[in-house]
Structure 1
Amino acid sequence: MVDPAQVGDVSAGTPVDPGRPAVFLLPGQGSQHVRMAAGLYGRHEDFSAAMDMVFALIGKDGAAVRADWLSATPRVPIEHVIRSQILLFAVDYAIGVQLRAWGVRPAALLGHSVGEIAGAVLAGVFELRDAVHLMWDRICRLAKAPPGGMAAVAATPDQVLPFLEDGVVIGAVNAPRQVVLSGPAAGLDTVTARLRAAGFTLRPVAASTAFHSPMLREVAEQAVPVIARMTARAPKTTLMSGYTAAPLTAEQVTDARFWASHPVAPVRFWPALERLLREVPQCVLIEVGPGQWLSTLARRHPAVLAGRCLVRPSLPARPAGDEADLECFERLGAGLARPVRW
C-alpha cells in the first residue's frame, strides 16, 4: 500500500553477488494491475503450474478469477477485493516457486499485507491448499464489508495523528516519512482534504476496502474458527512478520487469531525491514511480485544506500505488457544464474 506514482523503475540494478544471502519481499494491496505477471504464464513452467494450482484450489470460482487475470478488460475490476487479494497472493507465491526452481533459497521472507500469507506458504507454515482456503474465505467475507478506502501520505505517523477522525486510522508505516491511511470513504475524504490543505502530499491507494482498519474487525473475528482448523507448522525459513516486525515463532504461527487479525492490524513494513536487515546483513532483496514499490521503499534504507544490500525486482515498475514482464523477470534470472547462498 504505497503511492504507485512515487515508484521508479529499478530493474537495471547491480548484478547479484552470489556470496550474498537472498531475501524475498512480497508485495500486497496497491501493487496490483491488470494482467500483472501474465507475460510469464505459459513461458515459465513452474510459475504457470503454481498459478494453475491456485485457480484449481479456489474451486468453482477459479476459472473466473483466471479469466479476469488474463483479460485486458476483466469482468471484475482488479481493484476489487475478490480479485486484487487472491491474484496478489497467487502471483507472489508463483514467482517464489519459480525462483526456487532456479535454485534460489531465501534466508528470510518479508511480506506486506497479503504478501505475508504467500510468504507463509513459501516458508512452509501452511500447505498451499489451506492458504488458498484461508484467502478465499477472507476475501468472500471482506467483499461484504462496508466500503472504504486508503491513501498514502508523505508524512510521519506523528504528523498525521492530529488530523485523524471519523474512523480513519494509520493502516501502514511503510517508511520513515510514508504512511497509509485507511477508513470509511466519507471520513477519508474529510481527513485527506485537511491534510492537503495543511500542505501534505497524498495519493489514493488502489483499494475499495479499508484494509488494516477497525472497520474489518467483525470480518476478522468470523475467520478465527476457519483458521483454527488449519494445520500450521514452524517456519522452515525465517518469516519476518510485517505486523509484529519480528520473526514469527512456532507458537505464533499456530495462533488462529494472529492470522485472522491481518485485515485489521496495521502493517509495520519499515520496522520489519530494519530488523530484517540487521539480522540478514549484506543481502540481496528480491521483490517477489508485481510492481517495484517494495524495491523503492527498500532503496531508502541506509544499508541499501550504502551498498551493503542490493535490491532486485522481478517485474517492471508499471504495467508495460507481456514482453516487458518477461524481459524483466528473465533479467533477474540471468543475474541469479550463479548460486545464491542461504
Structure 2
Amino acid sequence: MGKTAFLFPGQGSQHPGMAKAFYEQNNDIKALIDEADRILDYPLSGLMFAGPEDELKKTENAQPALLTAEMASLEALKQKGIKADFAAGHSLGEYTALTAAGVISYENALRIVKQRGLFMEEAVPAGDGTMSAVMGLERETVERICSEISSAGGIVQAANLNAPGQIVISGDKDAVAKAEEMAQQENAKRVISLEVSGPFHSRMMEPAQEKLTSAIEPITFSEPAFPVLSNVNAMEETDPAQLKQHVIEQVTSPVYWEDTIRRLLELGVDTFIEAGPGNVLGGLVRRVQRRGVNVYSAQDPESVEKTAAALT
C-alpha cells in the first residue's frame, strides 16, 4: 500500500470565501472557525468569508486565516476517516502541518502565526524588499545569479525552490531587479514580480526571526503523531526540539519544496492531498512527478467528497 501525505499551502493561496461552505454546512467546523475569532479576539472569519481582499492579503491576517481554513479542511478529511502518514506545509503551511500532527495546539498555532505575520510585516520597511518568480531556469543558474549579485553587496537569494524550473527569489528591491535582468539574459521563460509585502525567506527577515524565537521559546512542542517534513532541509522529523528549531530557521531559510516532494516520494507516498484553499501545491507535485501519483484537493465540501470517493 502506498502512503498518504497531507500538504498545506502557504501565503498567496488565501482568497475571500475560503472555508465558507464548510462553515455553513458543518457544525464542528463552524465551532473550529468561531474559536479562531475568540482566540484572536477579532472577526477573522468575516475577513476569510467576505474580505476585503486587501485586508485579507495583509501578512498578519493572511497567516492566521490560512491556518484556520486549512484546519477546516483537515477536520473535513478527518470526518471522512482520511488519515496521513506524513505532512508538510509550504512556509506558513508548516505550522498547520505541525498542528495536524499534534505538535502544537490550535490555539498556540493561531497566536504564533498572527505574531509571525506581524514580525514579518515589521522586519523590513515597506517597499525596501520584494520577491520574484523565475520560470524555466535550473536551480544552479538561479543560485549563481544570486551569489554574484550578493557578493557585489546586494541581498538576493533563492527563497522558494518550488519545482523544476520554478524558483522564487527574494531580497532588496535593486538586487532582485538585477537578478530578474540576469535571469532574462540566461533565457528564463518568464520572470514575474510577486505582489508580496516583504522579502520573505531571505536574510532581510532576521529581525522577524529574532522576535519569533522569543515568541516560540515558551511554547510546548510535543511528539508528532506522524512525521512532519521541514522546509529548511526537506527531511522528516519527529523530535519536538528539532521541529521548533526548524520553524524558527524557516523565516530566513529557503523553502526546499521540490526536495520535500522528492523525499515524500522516496518514503513511498503516492497519494498527496492538498488541504486548504487553492491547488498550487497539487500543481507543484505534478511538476515534480508526472506519473504514478494521485493528487487530491480538500478545499470545500465538494472536493472533500470527491477525494473521499476516490480513496474508498
Shift of the 47–184 alpha-carbon distance from structure 1 to 2, 3 Å rule, reads: farther
Counterpart in 2 of 1:278? Answer: 266
Following the alignment from structure 1 to structure 2, what is the Cα–Cα distance between the partners of residues 222 and 118?
20
Counterpart in 1 of 2:196? Answer: 207
Equivalent position to 2:114, from 114, 136, 141: 136
Following the alignment from structure 1 to structure 2, what is the Cα–Cα distance between the partners of residues 21 and 33?
30
The answer to whether the aligner puts 1:185 opposite 2:166 as a matched pair is no
1:110–1:119 Cα contact (<8 Å) kept: yes
Deviation at 1:259, TM superposition (A): 2.3
Paired amino acid for 2:28: D
Following the alignment from structure 2 to structure 1, what is the Cα–Cα distance between the partners of residues 302 and 79?
18
> Partner of 1:208: helix, strand, or coil?
coil
Cα offsets for 1:261-320 (capped at 9, x unmatched):
222111001111111111134x31101111111111111234xx332x2111224xxxxx
Match runs of 1:37-116 below 5 Å = 37-59=19-41, 62-63=42-43, 65-74=44-53, 76-116=54-94
The answer to whether the aligner puts 1:145 opposite 2:145 as a matched pair is no
Counterpart in 2 of 1:6? Answer: none
Cα offsets for 1:32-53 (capped at 9, x unmatched):
2232333332123333322222
Match runs of 1:280-319 below 5 Å = 280-281=268-269, 283-302=270-289, 305-307=290-292, 309-315=293-299
Shift of the 73–181 alpha-carbon distance from structure 1 to 2, 3 Å rule, reads: same
- Point out which structure has higher relative CO (alpha carbons under 8 A, 6+ apart): 1
Number of matched pairs: 301
Paired amino acid for 2:38: A
Counterpart in 2 of 1:328? Answer: 303
Larger strand percent: 2
Deviation at 1:69, TM superposition (A): 1.5
2:11–2:92 Cα contact (<8 Å) kept: yes
Following the alignment from structure 1 to structure 2, what is the Cα–Cα distance between the partners of residues 37 and 196?
39
1:50–1:94 Cα contact (<8 Å) kept: yes
Following the alignment from structure 1 to structure 2, what is the Cα–Cα distance between the partners of residues 20 and 226?
38
Equivalent position to 1:175, from 154, 160, 163: 163
Following the alignment from structure 1 to structure 2, what is the Cα–Cα distance between the partners of residues 25 and 220?
24
For normalisation by structure 2, the TM-score amounts to 0.88
Following the alignment from structure 2 to structure 1, what is the Cα–Cα distance between the partners of residues 170 and 99?
27
Shift of the 156–252 alpha-carbon distance from structure 1 to 2, 3 Å rule, reads: farther
> Partner of 2:10: helix, strand, or coil?
coil
> Partner of 1:244: helix, strand, or coil?
coil
Paired amino acid for 2:27: E
2:9–2:274 Cα contact (<8 Å) kept: yes
Paired amino acid for 2:63: Q
Deviation at 1:158, TM superposition (A): 1.2
Shift of the 218–300 alpha-carbon distance from structure 1 to 2, 3 Å rule, reads: same
Following the alignment from structure 1 to structure 2, what is the Cα–Cα distance between the partners of residues 140 and 306?
40
Shift of the 96–167 alpha-carbon distance from structure 1 to 2, 3 Å rule, reads: same
Shift of the 301–187 alpha-carbon distance from structure 1 to 2, 3 Å rule, reads: closer
Following the alignment from structure 1 to structure 2, what is the Cα–Cα distance between the partners of residues 167 and 212?
12
Paired amino acid for 1:42: E
Please give the root-mean-square deviation of Cα atoms over the aligned residues, in Å: 2.1
Shift of the 335–228 alpha-carbon distance from structure 1 to 2, 3 Å rule, reads: same
Cα offsets for 1:236-275 (capped at 9, x unmatched):
11111122211113154464x4322222111001111111
Deviation at 1:163, TM superposition (A): 2.8
Deviation at 1:108, TM superposition (A): 0.8
Counterpart in 2 of 1:260? Answer: 248
Unaligned runs of at least 5 residues, structure 1 = 1-18, 316-324
2:221–2:241 Cα contact (<8 Å) kept: no
For normalisation by structure 1, the TM-score amounts to 0.81
Following the alignment from structure 1 to structure 2, what is the Cα–Cα distance between the partners of residues 277 and 177?
19
